[in-house]
Structure 1
Amino acid sequence: MSATSDRSVVQSGRVAFRREPEYGSVPEGSDAEKRLREIWEGESGWRGFFTTVDHKKIGLRYIVTAFAFLLIGGVEALLMRLQLARPNETLLSPEQYAQLFTMHGVTMIFLYALPVLSGFANFLWPLMLGSRDMAFPRLNALSYWLFLFAGLFLYCSFPFGEAPNAGWFNYVPFSSLEYNRGPNIDVYSLGMVLLGISTTVGAVNFVVTLFRMRAVGMSVDRLPIIVWGTLTISFANLFAVPSVSLAFLLLWMDRNVGTHFFDVAADGRPLLWQHLFWMFAHPWVYVVVLPAMGIVSDALPTFCRRPLVAYAAVAMSTVATMIIGFEVWIHHMFATGIAPLALAFFGAASVLISIPSAVAVFAWIATIWMGRPVFTVPFLYFASFVLMFVIGGVSGVMTAAVPLDWQLNETYFIVAHLHYVLLGINVFPVLGGITYWFPKFTGRLMNERFGKIAFWIVFIGFNVGFFPMHISGLLGMPRRVYTYPEGMGWDTSNLVTTIGSFLLGIGIVLFAINALLSARRGSKAPPNPWDASGLEWSVSSPPPPYNFAVLPIIESRHPMWEDRIQPTGRRSHLKEGYLLHHGREALGVHPFSGKPDVILKMPDDAWSPFLLGVFAAFMFLALLLRSPSFTIISFAASGATLIAWMWPRRSLAQREPPTPKQVTAAPSALKDDALPVGSAGEHSGGWWGVLALVATEASLFGYLLFSYFYSQSQTQLPWPPEGIPKIGVGALSTGVLVLSSVFTWFSERTLKKNKRWWAFAWLLVAIVLGTLFVGVQLKEWHNHPYGLTAHLYGSLYFTITGFHLAHVLVGLVILILLAIWIALGYFDEARNAPMRIGGLYWHFVDVVWLFIFTALYVTPIWLRGQ
């Protein structure tokens, strides 16, 4: 193994630890390789199970857990199909059917479809990108534990007969307290908020990983399509998940606190629920589709023995699909009395979205047509997916025509379309993807003959089960009915659908059996058993704990096919590259140029993600049980765990650098300046993570303000009903908060100049001003003649300002911790990433208040003057 020397750089009288990028090779079985394995190998046994942050183990857990939920959701579906197989069946009561119907939708859409794709991305992204780990390993583990606990939370209601029962869309007023008094909807509301936290945390991790953890040379035009798909939906989740989380939170408050967001009797707006829900749920359709399309785009060419046709067009169509998907949520609300102009606009947008989807379809067909297909099990799943995609897409375009949608809405035609889109377009790529990457997951190959039997049963069962639903819908069968009388013309189609559903279930079970048996007894797989082109196939099967002994240098989109695609030209460096062997280290690159930017110290295995997941789940359970003391204890435990998680280590500047080693020069094209070691200043991955968090929090406040203005536009009552808020008080609190942000900035600047105690003093001033803002806000609340539950305006005003106040309190805790850490000497002019991160969050809180002040204080005065 070759290496370059370590060195330190003196800055302002202090030593900042930097190191030149090291270049060389690590032979398999060498002492260096064994040391890497020891460094990256986590604990075994039960401790390792709870503390691991290995992205490969987390990815496999996602896939296995999501597949278990798929089987549970399938059992629920089969029970419903038995109920509908014949007219006037009495196997299930209406309430039992409603709970099964709701939990089937929740399970398939939220607990299976996205989590299984997150599993693929978690396992494959670092291998495809040429990295040793995700950007935030502990955050990655937390995302999984929150997903698991949210699923268990939702299902804990089943044994008590109190499962969610208003459909996965949960429309009000049926889900309001007046018509649904049990805990069913509270379970759903709190479970979905907890699941939304998991999804958001995962999305932040994916976004920052793509921007910061790529191999050198991995430019955007060399990214696998699955990376494009997962990156696109991760951005979408940052902006869409806050909508549904807010909707469920407002509904929970209506049911448990007495607010009036959806209460018609108090001028609430049930249609607000549909807006908030479908602003999330329509993009979510593409969230569970685009990564699956990426699986096909990356794996299908392997069995066609040629690269994907029109790579750039497919990548851009992936992004375009999601962008347009955000614009068509009213596609689901054509029958709610929307204005004709809106119907025309959203109907046209619903047709327009078929164009980027068609680009991908034609690219897949052209790849098959121009290649030399090898009819293996993965190819069969991927090719059949194209057919499912076309059927589901065509039926979707049909419902984009408003007059036809009015006829088909609330019929089984929509149920058929939904299953082809959410199940057919997801399940077939997932089964094919599991088969394709099974060697990388386990080191073994799945049984080919058994796999083909399972495939044909799945394919026939799926189409026999779901295609007749189109016919049932065209014959007028309504959705969500638990039984039907004889003589309606639906008997035969329902019986055929039930038979097909059981056939599909048998195929899925056979696939699972094949996977379980093959994981133990399957043929051992070489590193690249399919002769694939992707970077993930350059390492052993399964991959070592560190992924890459040397970090590769990428020169093409198909590093394993370079010899056959371009006989001459530059070659990727897969056996020689950057050496990072001083502990758990990964290379951070510049987000846009992709040049080496920092040597990141990655965290070891930790208990904190699991414990935080447990305490968060307990907090939501306490809210369900309406236990204030249990809630406070769980909240305090969560906060203490977070503080322990964030507590900084001693500055790398205070450590002795390693002993210098023999220098071996890297190729001149790869020569770099010394890089900072650790999360120093603008090199911090945490800064980018908080930036992504700020984006999703800004969306949350945006949806809150949308709810405010939407409610204002629909009411016929005076707004505000009790008089305009005192703008003088609001202006005072605004000035105080803005001033606190200025002093926080002063603290950041003085710390960079190594004036630690001045930085501490300015931060104390900012904390005092932030506390003063809290006092002014509480005083203003006390002086209002109305409260949270007085009327719709009161509910909106106190929720918006209260939600912001909660962010201010969190920000104050962060500032206090930063002040303590400055006083303890953790930071200096080179080591100040937490200060920049905390400052970014505090500035965001202040900017949000400017929008709230304008909406709640300034706008009413302007409207009264019109």
Structure 2
Amino acid sequence: MSSSTAAERGTGPDPAAMAALDSHWAAAPTLRNWFATVDHKRIGRRYLVTAALFFGFAGASALAMRTQLAGPEAGVLSAREYNQLFTMHGTAMIFLFSTPMLFGFGNFLVPLMIGTRDMAFPRLNAFGYWVFLFAGLFMWASVPAGAAPNGGWFAYVPLTDERHTPGLHLDVYTLGLLFLGISTTAGAINFIVTALKLRAPGMSLNRVPIFVWAIVATAFMVLFALPVLNLDNALLFLDRRFDTRFFEPERGGNVLLWQHLFWIFGHPDVYIIVMPALGIVSAVLPVFCRRGIVGYPLVVFSIVAIAIISFGVWVHHMFATGLPQLSYGFFSAASTVITIPSGLQIFAWLATMLFGRIVLSVPFLFVVGFLVTFVIGGFTGVMFALTAFDQQTTDTYFVVAHFHYVLFGGAVFPILAGIYYWLPKITGRMFDARLGRWAFWLVFLGMNLTFFPMHVSGLLGMPRRVYTYSGGLGWDALNVLATVGAYVLAVGLLLVAIGVVHALRRGDPAPDDPWGGDSLEWATSSPPKPYNFAVIPRVRSLHPVWDPATAESTGPGADEDRILAEGRRTLFTSEFDGRPERAVEMPEETLKPLVAAVGLLVLFLGLLFAWYWIAAGSGALVAGTLATWLWPPHRAPEEAGMTT
């Protein structure tokens, strides 16, 4: 097995071709180009940083809530303040951190992993980021204004209708998620087309990295699940603003309609969050076990199976709502069946560790932490699939413990593993390993100390969604432990941030492939050039960087149709077997995505404050911007077949 990069094995294209690539792809470091960039790597870094900032806001909210709950009858937060922080914490962690953070990794890595030069729709990619940023600011700006969402991240009616929750609180929630959904949908479409049409020649479907499979499966889930959430939020906004009463039984509505629509989205969303994180684990683990992942076809099958089955289990969130008893049996069975493909991945990772030669690095430590916490969360998840147990523990802190083990253990630990694993590639700098190990142990111990006691307090009857409680109920010591754990966890996460900043400022220069990785991002420089690959590789293996034949395809004598130095060009290939089809021209920097996103921000602000004439005007601005954006450019006849 060789871990040397293509640059070390061959000279690549001649200097004239390299200079041509630089002139076409490199952008001058101007203020305009900072706002106008369509480079997937810069956009991916922005997703990562922005999602991390929203994670910091949500984490600070969690610390405030845990401080309030550290003892009975505490007065740190009022009920009104607690409800707003509680709702924004959950909403931000689910919608503004987890999926955007993982999509940030996808933006940076998917084109590199499949051997292409950008995403399929670079301008749509930039538009998606600006919409995500503005939607997040739209929602977080409501906190200092005292108008933040306050009905929980699940926003159950009738508690969230205009009569029970007056003011802008839930209008911010519904409009903010509708706004954000535009970004998520745009990103999902982009990932699917990129993975299907821009893979390097020879990268057939059985050679696609598992991380890319996970991103594509997530993208398909988003396209099917998100419209249901958008419909739910639109109906609630119409109920609140225009008295349509979709959810009021007295006027022909149905209260449970909200829950059905929300959880038809909400349970697949658990896997929308976790699936790319599982892809990170499958990317990191083989490198530090020094062998390919065991059972690659089964792991891919499990990803596809989870994506499908997850749409048939939503009612296990509603076992206490009085639905027909017969239906419980079907959904209980489906909730149990979905553990089988999840277990396949667990056993594949364990077998890879068993048959490999483990290297104890910081990314590998976070992968092990993920395995421990995710298995605990999965075990309690199987318990919730049993109707009788679910009905006894519903709306208790046992549920809070379960989903934090699944989502924190299943998403945050892999995200931290990915940060340490790809930080040298993203920044060109190495991190301090000792600081990384300290961060791991504090995060691991803090996470378990925070959330494990909640299992016990839930079994002792402590309900969810309470801002205070009476003493003498047996919960006091457990809440003190959970609060101490939250602060230990916060210190560990702070060390992660310090480690990233330290690497950027004082880290040693990173080699192109510091870990001996197997996928194509490690065949580029650290950080990658604007065009990613001087020569688009011809892939001949599932582990192209460990494969000498793939490396030779980028050396001297590389085919001219894989250098493509005549413009901002990359290669279209066939969907299944990666056969070259044609070269396509990629768009240059433009401000149109930013202008369209600003127009949408003004539109949603107009809807929020009932300035409908402003909303209509900004809608016209968005439509005009999209018209100029999509207007085909004038090209010479010989270039007519090279536009995306």
Same fold judged by TM-score > 0.5? yes
Q: What is residue 645 of structure 1 aligned with on the other side?
A: 629
Distance of 1:418 and 1:113 partners within structure 2:
14
Distance of 1:283 and 1:374 partners within structure 2:
34
How does 1:219-618 map onto structure 2 within 5 Å? Answer: 219-562=204-547, 573-575=553-555, 576-577=558-559, 578-618=562-602
Q: What is residue 6 of structure 2 aligned with on the other side?
A: none
How many pairs were matched up?
631
Which digits, 9 at most, give the CA deviation of each residue in 1:350-371, with x for residues without a partner? 0000000000001111111111
Cα displacement (A) at 1:43: 3.3
1:359 to 1:90, Cα distance in 2 relative to 1, 3 A: same
Distance of 1:570 and 1:547 partners within structure 2:
16
Q: What is residue 126 of structure 1 aligned with on the other side?
A: 111
1:69 is the counterpart of 2:49: no
Cα displacement (A) at 1:517: 1.1
1:599 partner SS: strand
Cα displacement (A) at 1:582: 1.6
For the 8 Å contact 1:438–1:444, the answer to whether it is kept is yes
Which digits, 9 at most, give the CA deviation of each residue in 1:320-360, with x for residues without a partner? 11111011111111111111121000000000000000000
For the 8 Å contact 1:554–1:572, the answer to whether it is kept is no
Q: Which one-letter code corresponds to 1:636 in the other structure?
A: A
Q: Which one-letter code corresponds to 2:446 in the other structure?
A: G
1:554 partner SS: coil
Which digits, 9 at most, give the CA deviation of each residue in 1:678-701, with x for residues without a partner? 24xxxxx5xxxxxxxxxxxxxxxx
Distance of 1:594 and 1:493 partners within structure 2:
56
Cα displacement (A) at 1:26: 6.9
Which digits, 9 at most, give the CA deviation of each residue in 1:263-315, with x for residues without a partner? 22212111000111001110000001011001011111111111111111111
Bigger Cα Rg: 1
Which digits, 9 at most, give the CA deviation of each residue in 1:595-630, with x for residues without a partner? 122211100000000110000011000000101221
Distance of 1:34 and 1:434 partners within structure 2:
32
Distance of 1:650 and 1:570 partners within structure 2:
37
Distance of 2:576 and 2:281 partners within structure 1:
27
Q: What is residue 705 of structure 1 aligned with on the other side?
A: none
Q: What is residue 615 of structure 2 aligned with on the other side?
A: 631
Distance of 2:593 and 2:541 partners within structure 1:
37
1:477 partner SS: coil
Q: Which one-letter code corresponds to 1:574 in the other structure?
A: T
Cα displacement (A) at 1:592: 2.8
| TM-score (ref. length: structure 2) | 0.96
Distance of 1:560 and 1:26 partners within structure 2:
16
Cα displacement (A) at 1:148: 0.5
2:581 partner SS: strand
Q: Which one-letter code corresponds to 2:498 in the other structure?
A: I
Distance of 2:535 and 2:171 partners within structure 1:
51
Distance of 2:27 and 2:101 partners within structure 1:
24
1:237 to 1:397, Cα distance in 2 relative to 1, 3 A: same
Which digits, 9 at most, give the CA deviation of each residue in 1:432-476, with x for residues without a partner? 111100111011111101111111111110111111111111111
Q: Which one-letter code corresponds to 2:595 in the other structure?
A: L
Cα displacement (A) at 1:49: 1.5
For the 8 Å contact 1:126–1:134, the answer to whether it is kept is yes
1:93 is the counterpart of 2:57: no
Q: Which one-letter code corresponds to 2:134 in the other structure?
A: F
Distance of 1:570 and 1:399 partners within structure 2:
48
Cα displacement (A) at 1:27: 3.9
1:418 to 1:138, Cα distance in 2 relative to 1, 3 A: same
Identify which of 15, 32, 37 aligns with 1:47.
32
For the 8 Å contact 2:369–2:409, the answer to whether it is kept is no
Distance of 1:381 and 1:353 partners within structure 2:
25
Cα displacement (A) at 1:650: 1.9
1:570 to 1:87, Cα distance in 2 relative to 1, 3 A: closer
1:586 to 1:470, Cα distance in 2 relative to 1, 3 A: same
Distance of 1:339 and 1:310 partners within structure 2:
41
Which digits, 9 at most, give the CA deviation of each residue in 1:478-532, with x for residues without a partner? 0000000011100011000000001000100111011011012101111111011
Distance of 2:285 and 2:346 partners within structure 1:
12
Distance of 2:573 and 2:313 partners within structure 1:
36
Q: What is residue 677 of structure 1 aligned with on the other side?
A: 641
2:544 partner SS: coil
Cα displacement (A) at 1:574: 3.1
Which digits, 9 at most, give the CA deviation of each residue in 1:812-844, with x for residues without a partner? xxxxxxxxxxxxxxxxxxxxxxxxxxxxxxxxx
Cα displacement (A) at 1:31: 2.5
Distance of 2:228 and 2:22 partners within structure 1:
43
Distance of 1:579 and 1:372 partners within structure 2:
37
Distance of 2:28 and 2:240 partners within structure 1:
45
1:587 partner SS: strand
Cα displacement (A) at 1:29: 7.8
Distance of 1:607 and 1:440 partners within structure 2:
28
For the 8 Å contact 1:555–1:572, the answer to whether it is kept is no
**Structure 2 segments unaligned to the other structure (5+ residues):** 1-9
For the 8 Å contact 2:267–2:314, the answer to whether it is kept is yes
Distance of 1:493 and 1:73 partners within structure 2:
22
Distance of 1:570 and 1:480 partners within structure 2:
55
Distance of 1:645 and 1:133 partners within structure 2:
18
1:400 to 1:677, Cα distance in 2 relative to 1, 3 A: same
For the 8 Å contact 1:26–1:33, the answer to whether it is kept is no
Q: Which one-letter code corresponds to 1:346 in the other structure?
A: F
Q: What is residue 78 of structure 1 aligned with on the other side?
A: 63
Cα displacement (A) at 1:383: 1.3
Q: What is residue 114 of structure 1 aligned with on the other side?
A: 99
Which digits, 9 at most, give the CA deviation of each residue in 1:60-98, with x for residues without a partner? 100111111111111000000000000111111111100
**Structure 1 segments unaligned to the other structure (5+ residues):** 1-24, 564-568, 658-675, 680-684, 686-866
For the 8 Å contact 2:13–2:563, the answer to whether it is kept is no
Distance of 1:361 and 1:513 partners within structure 2:
31
Cα displacement (A) at 1:380: 0.3
Distance of 1:29 and 1:595 partners within structure 2:
25
1:288 partner SS: helix
Distance of 1:468 and 1:168 partners within structure 2:
23
1:158 partner SS: coil
Distance of 2:38 and 2:99 partners within structure 1:
20
1:570 to 1:39, Cα distance in 2 relative to 1, 3 A: closer
For the 8 Å contact 1:300–1:382, the answer to whether it is kept is yes
Cα displacement (A) at 1:30: 1.4
Distance of 2:100 and 2:550 partners within structure 1:
38
Which digits, 9 at most, give the CA deviation of each residue in 1:101-158, with x for residues without a partner? 0000011111000000001000001110000110000000011110000000001111
Higher relative contact order (CA 8 A, sep 6+): 2
Distance of 1:472 and 1:224 partners within structure 2:
42
2:129 partner SS: helix
Cα displacement (A) at 1:46: 1.7
1:183 is the counterpart of 2:168: yes
2:554 partner SS: strand
For the 8 Å contact 1:26–1:32, the answer to whether it is kept is no
